[in-house]
Amino acid sequence: MQGSFFGERGLYYRVSEMRPDRPTIVLLHGLSGSSSVWVPYEKHLEGAYNILSLDLRGHGKSKRWSRYHDYDFQVFAEDVASLLRELGIETYLLVSHSFGTLVALHLLLQHSGAEKLLLFSPNYAVHRMLRSRLTRGILGIMTGLFSELPSIHWRGVQLDYSQLGYSGDWDRRRLYSDILNTGIRTYLHCLHHLYMFDRDDDWSRISIPTQIVHGALDSFIPIAHAIELSRIIPNAKFKMFGDANHMLVLNNFEEVARAIEDFASGKTT
C-alpha cells in the first residue's frame, strides 16, 4: 500500500498496486477515525484485490476545514468521487463503517461505479434517537460559532488502533484520542450533520446488491434500525454478529474480513 495526498481535495489516501485483473475494494471509515482502522484488512486483502482507503475530509491526515457546510455529506461524496476519477477507478465494491455509511449513500446517489455495497454498523435513522433530539439544538449553536473561528488545526495524524485492544462503544481512551486528533470543530460539525440527517427514504433508491452487518451489542445504533434498513434497500441482506458492538471493525477482524471476502466473491447468506 502506497500513501499519497490528493491536493485538489485535501485527502490523504492509501492505494495498493492497481491490477486490471483484480476487483477493487474502496474502504470508508467512521466518525473521528481514519483509514488506519482498515490497515489489518488492507494487509489481508491486497493479495487478491485492488484496495483504496482514504481519510475522510477533516479526519486523519486529510485537511481540516473550518465551516459547517464544508462537512455536508454531498461534499464528502464528491471528495471520494474526485479521488476515484483521479485514480481511474471506474467499478468497485464499496465498504463503509458507521458515519462512512452515509458518505457511501450520498456517493451512490450522485455517482455510478459501485457494483456492490457492504455496510457495517450503518448510521440509519439516527435523527430519531433520543440523544440526537436532545442535543442537536445546542450542537447547531456550537457549530455556527465554530464556523466563524479561524482554523488552527490543519491536519492530524493516524492513530494506531492496534494499541487499544478490545474497544467498547463508549471507550473513553479511544473517544478522547479520536476526538482530540480530529479536532472538536470537525467532530461537532460532522456529529450535527449526522444528527440532522432525516432522509431515510433515500436508502430505498439504492439498487445494487447490499449486505448489512450489525453487532447485536451495538449501543450506538440499535440493531432494530439495521434490520429496518435491510427491508428498505431493495436488494439488501442482513447479517448479525452476536458478540459484536458498534466497533466491530476494530474488535472482530476475522468475522469482518470474512464478510468482506464472502460478499466480494458472492457468498453472502
Query: Quick check: 269 pLDDT over 70?
Result: no
Confidence of residue 152 (pLDDT cuts 50, 70, 90): low
As a whole number of angstroms, the distance between CA 172 and CA 178 comes to: 10
Q: Are 241 and 269 spatial neighbours (Cβ–Cβ below 8 Å)?
A: no
Q: Are 27 and 52 spatial neighbours (Cβ–Cβ below 8 Å)?
A: yes
Split into its structural domains, the chain has a count of 1
The contacts of residue 110 (CB under 8 Å, 6+ apart) are 74, 77, 78, 81
As a whole number of angstroms, the distance between CA 201 and CA 116 comes to: 19
Cell of 223: 440493531
237 against 266, higher pLDDT: 237
pLDDT digits 0-9 by tens, 158-189: 999 999 889 999 999 999 999 999 999 999 99
Confidence of residue 268 (pLDDT cuts 50, 70, 90): low
Question: How confident is the model over 65-90, as a mean pLDDT?
Answer: 97
Q: Structure pTM?
A: 0.96
Could you list the residue range(s) of the whole structural domain that residue 259 is in? Answer: 2-265
As a whole number of angstroms, the distance between CA 226 and CA 217 comes to: 13
Which DSSP state fits 56? P
For the chain, state the CA radius of gyration.
17
As a whole number of angstroms, the distance between CA 121 and CA 225 comes to: 10
How far from 255 is each of 24, 49, 139, 215, CA to CA, in Å?
A: 20, 18, 36, 11
pLDDT digits 0-9 by tens, 43-62: 999 999 999 999 999 999 99
CA 229 to chain centre: 17
As a whole number of angstroms, the distance between CA 70 and CA 89 comes to: 25
pLDDT digits 0-9 by tens, 106-136: 999 999 999 999 999 999 999 999 999 999 9
The contacts of residue 85 (CB under 8 Å, 6+ apart) are none
As a whole number of angstroms, the distance between CA 96 and CA 114 comes to: 12
54: domain CATH number?
3.40.50.1820
